[in-house]
Structures are given as structure tokens and as C-alpha cells.
């Protein structure tokens, strides 16, 4: 077991233990501002998403976690006059602006090259950095939760992909994929997460998602002709970025 994994285990263990203590104390009236159990549990989840997003430069995940926290605590923050859609609209604009300024893709490239040098020098393990996996299958099924992950899809006959991400962040690369037919389906089930899809420019994406208080951002421009991808499913309290490569 790597030292990196041990540090993560201790961090999240202490985080949830502290959250349990805060939950009990809040119900005993120790804090001056009383919140419901549901609000406090949702706060804990959003803070976890925020910390994960900041650590791995998931800009939409971090911004929208803060936005939902602002909605939950609008009264003590003195912003009750702002309707939720105003806050979410501002979060959308902030996430786009910060993504352009900070350029998280360049950040990831620097991190990858830095880790690659360390790997060659120390003969370490890729898992010491984060959860990374390459998948070669015609029918891709991913179930990612409470983690930050990178998945590289390599397939010469991709027919479908089912991707579930819960309370975490995920970067999923489809740039080395050949479709089985001229159409394919990518089905998403995303909640309280930040997800980035990296797709070939030649793919024509038809978005048919059930959007529950989430935002979808597109970076890059696809070509005017090519295979058709149906992007289906649902995203809830999350951020989705479609990157055309």
C-alpha cells in the first residue's frame, strides 16, 4: 500500500469523523446557527467535492460546490435576496472564465510530465499519484465514486459507454477510439461531481441529458461531419465539460 494512499485514507477518515462530531454537536444546539440534518449532510458532501476538485484542478466542480454551499447558507451569508438561478448562472460564468485563465489541461500536462520523470527515476507505481486506468472494450462500464480518476478508453469497435461518477472528479479520454458503427451512445449518471470528457473533433455529439441544477460546458469546436454520438443520462448538482481534441 503506497504512502500516498495512506495519506488519503487518513485525511478522509479524519474528515468524516470530524463531520460526524459536527453533526451531533449541531443537533445538541452547541452552535449558534442551527441547521437541519439534511443540510449538514449535504454540506459535508459538498465540502468533500470542493476539496477533491481543488486538489485536482477540477474548476467546474469547485465553483459549483461553492455555489451550492452559498445557496444552502444564503440567510447567514446575507445573500437571501439572490435567487438560486442567479448564483448558478454566476457559477457557470465563473467556471468558464477560470477554466480559460487557469487552463487545467495545461496543469494536468505539467503534473503528468513531472510524475513521469519521478516514475522513471524512482521506479515507483502509477497508483502513487492517482487512479489511472486504460480500458479496451467495445462496451465500456465505469463506476467511479469518492475519488479523482483518469480513464483512457482504447477501442477499435466502441459501441457504448456507461459512466457513473458520484462525489468525485473524472477525466475520460476517448481520443484513441474507433467506433463500431457510425453511431454510439455514451450514457452518463453523474452526481455531485466534476466530469471532463475528451472527444475527437470528428464526433458529432447530440446532447440529451436530464440536467438537474448542473452545467455543461464545451471547449473546442467539432468538425461539421463525422460519426454521431448520443450523450444520454442525467447529471445532478455537477459540472460537465466536453473537450474536443
What integer pLDDT is reported at residue 217 of this predicted model?
Answer: 86
Separation between Cα atoms, residue 62 and residue 195, nearest integer Å:
12
CB 23 within 8 A of CB 74: no
> 77: pLDDT confidence band, cut at 50, 70 and 90?
confident
Range with top average pLDDT, 25-29, 118-122, 144-148, 182-186: 182-186
Highest mean pLDDT pick, 26-30, 148-152, 203-207: 203-207
Average pLDDT estimate for 222-237: 89
**Is pLDDT above 60 for 125?**
no
Quick one: pLDDT at residue 166?
83
Average pLDDT of span 145-167: 86
Interacting residues of 125 by C-beta distance below 8 A, sequence separation 6+ = 2
Tell me the percentage of the chain whose pLDDT exceeds 90: 18
Strand partners, 150: 132, 171
**For 30-67, what is each residue's pLDDT tens digit?**
555 666 777 777 887 788 777 777 766 677 778 888 88
pLDDT reported for residue 202: 93
**Structural contact between residues 61 and 53, judged by C-beta atoms closer than 8 angstroms:** yes
3-state secondary structure the chain: CCHHHHHHHHHHHHHHHHHHHHHHHHHCCCCCCCCCHHHHHHHHHHHHHHHHHHHCCCHHHHHHHHHHHHHHCHHHHCCCCCCHHHHHHHHHHHHHHHHHHHCHHHHHHHHHHHHHHHHHHHCCCHHHCCEEEEECCCEEEEEEECCEEEEEEEEEEECEEEEEEECCEEEEEEEEEEECCCEEEEEEEEECCEEEEEECCCCEEEEEEEEECCEEEEECCCCCCCCEEEEEEEEECCEEEEEEC
Query: pLDDT digit string (tens) for 165-208?
Result: 887 788 999 988 989 888 999 999 998 788 899 999 999 999 99
Contact 220, 243 (CB under 8 A): yes
Amino acid at each position: 500500500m503506497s504512502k500516498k494512499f495512506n495519506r488519503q485514507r487518513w485525511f478522509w477518515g479524519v474528515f468524516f469523523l470530524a463531520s460526524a462530531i459536527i453533526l451531533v454537536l449541531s443537533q445538541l444546539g452547541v452552535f449558534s446557527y442551527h441547521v437541519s440534518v439534511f443540510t449538514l449532510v449535504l454540506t459535508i458532501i459538498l465540502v468533500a467535492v470542493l476539496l477533491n476538485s481543488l486538489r485536482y484542478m477540477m474548476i467546474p466542480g469547485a465553483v459549483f460546490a461553492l455555489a451550492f454551499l452559498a445557496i444552502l447558507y444564503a440567510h447567514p451569508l446575507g445573500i437571501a435576496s439572490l435567487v438560486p438561478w442567479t448564483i448558478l448562472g454566476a457559477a457557470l460564468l465563473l467556471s468558464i472564465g477560470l477554466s480559460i485563465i487557469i487552463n487545467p489541461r495545461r496543469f494536468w500536462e505539467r503534473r503528468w510530465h513531472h510524475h513521469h520523470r519521478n516514475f522513471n527515476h524512482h521506479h515507483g507505481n502509477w497508483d502513487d499519484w492517482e487512479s489511472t486506468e486504460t480500458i479496451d472494450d467495445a462496451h465500456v462500464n465505469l463506476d467511479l465514486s469518492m475519488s479523482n480518476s483518469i480513464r483512457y478508453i482504447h477501442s477499435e469497435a466502441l459501441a457504448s459507454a456507461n459512466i457513473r461518477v458520484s462525489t468525485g472528479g473524472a477525466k475520460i479520454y476517448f481520443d484513441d477510439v474507433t467506433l463500431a458503427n457510425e453511431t454510439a451512445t455514451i450514457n452518463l449518471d453523474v452526481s455531485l461531481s466534476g466530469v471532463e470528457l475528451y472527444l475527437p473533433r470528428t464526433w458529432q455529439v447530440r446532447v440529451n441529458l436530464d440536467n438537474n441544477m448542473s452545467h455543461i460546458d464545451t471547449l473546442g469546436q467539432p468538425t461539421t461531419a463525422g460519426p454521431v454520438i448520443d450523450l444520454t443520462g442525467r447529471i445532478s448538482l455537477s459540472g460537465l465539460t466536453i473537450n474536443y481534441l
